[in-house]
């Protein structure tokens, strides 16, 4: 299962419009001092760039240095402050400097006590899981060969899903549609990044963060069980659920 934050329409109470009030366009009041006020009645204590960074973390599935350079710079300079604001909403900040990626996770207590959540569960399909596993393996292999940026063709992904189709699956047209939807869904999620060529996609480094090697093995075992190529009681050391959880606390946006 994946956890998706509610969309902007679902959360009108978190943030209002970011329209400026009587302050000047550069965020200063008439006296020349920097103003924190952005709208009538604003009592916020964050500067505009800090607010926008926090808003982006809540809205988007993740922030990265290459896709959100301005927010990334602000986040690095104000990590403790923004982390504190996320904590107040029961989120944890995950910041990976090696991959230059940041995202939020639902916080949990050591005792297992349930905390209020703005996140809703969304299950991912088998086709999405197949694509995710393939992307993780390809990204790792290409990085090992020295590639900084890793691409994949849409047709390669479709072929991978087709190769994983169990023998009893005969509705190929429906399977093809599901595979296309899986690819498009992961592109919307930012796991795959569109390029100038609609048939060629770039794999985001978020894939390594979302699928560490332990999770990759568990998902691979799950897929084998689903296809009937591994015994369900095989001693893998992993718990295989009815639905694999792939994306963790990644927010739905409208990019």
Q: What pTM was estimated for this model as a whole?
A: 0.61
Q: What was the pLDDT predicted at 26?
A: 46
Nearest Cα neighbor of 18 from 44, 34, 5 is 44
Q: How far is CA 5 from CA 110, 122, 166, 188, in A?
A: 23, 10, 33, 14
Closest by CA position to 45, among listed 55, 57, 35, 56: 35
Q: Tell me, what's the pLDDT at 247?
A: 44
Other CB atoms within 10 Å distance of the CB of residue 68: 19
pLDDT (0 to 100) of residue 60: 85
Is residue 187 within 8 A of residue 193, CB to CB? The reply is yes
- Between the CA of residue 200 and those of 61, 91, 140, 146, 191, what are the distances in Å? 21, 34, 18, 20, 13
List phi, psi (to 5°) of 20.
Answer: -75, 150
The pLDDT profile of the chain, 255 residues, written as one tens digit per residue, is 444 444 434 433 333 333 334 444 444 555 444 578 888 888 889 999 999 999 999 988 889 998 899 999 999 999 999 999 999 999 999 999 988 999 998 888 888 777 887 766 566 678 888 898 899 889 989 988 988 899 999 999 999 888 877 666 667 788 889 899 999 988 988 889 999 999 999 999 888 887 766 676 777 676 666 666 554 444 443 333 444 444 443 333 434
Q: How far is Cα 17 from Cα 40, in angstroms, rounded to an integer?
A: 11
Q: What Cα–Cα distance (Å) separates residue 43 from each residue in 111, 130, 172, 213?
A: 35, 47, 57, 45
Per-residue pLDDT at 16: 33
**pLDDT of amino acid 40:** 87
């Amino acid at each position: 299962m994946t956890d998706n934050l509610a969309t902007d329409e679902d959360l009108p109470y978190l943030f209002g419009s970011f329209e400026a009030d009587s302050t000047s366009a550069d965020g200063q009041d008439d006296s020349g001092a920097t103003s924190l006020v952005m709208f009538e009645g604003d009592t916020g204590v964050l500067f505009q760039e800090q607010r926008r960074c926090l808003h982006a973390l809540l809205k988007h599935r993740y922030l990265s240095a290459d896709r959100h350079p301005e927010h990334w710079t602000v986040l690095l300079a104000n990590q403790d402050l923004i982390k504190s604001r996320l904590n107040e909403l029961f989120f944890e900040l995950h910041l990976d400097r090696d991959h230059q990626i940041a995202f939020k996770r639902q916080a949990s207590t050591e005792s297992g006590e349930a905390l209020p959540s703005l996140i809703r569960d969304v299950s991912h399909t088998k086709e999405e899981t197949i694509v995710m596993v393939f992307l993780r393996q390809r990204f790792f292999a290409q990085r090992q060969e020295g590639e900084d940026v890793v691409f994949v063709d849409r047709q390669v992904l479709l072929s991978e899903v087709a190769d994983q189709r169990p023998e009893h699956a005969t509705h190929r047209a429906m399977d093809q549609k599901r595979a296309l939807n899986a690819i498009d869904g992961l592109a919307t999620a930012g796991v795959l990044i569109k390029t100038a060529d609609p048939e060629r996609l770039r794999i985001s480094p978020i894939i390594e963060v979302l699928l560490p090697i332990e999770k990759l093995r568990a998902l691979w075992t799950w897929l084998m069980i689903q296809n009937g190529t591994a015994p369900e009681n095989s001693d893998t050391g992993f718990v295989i659920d009815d639905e694999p959880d792939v994306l963790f606390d990644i927010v739905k946006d409208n990019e």
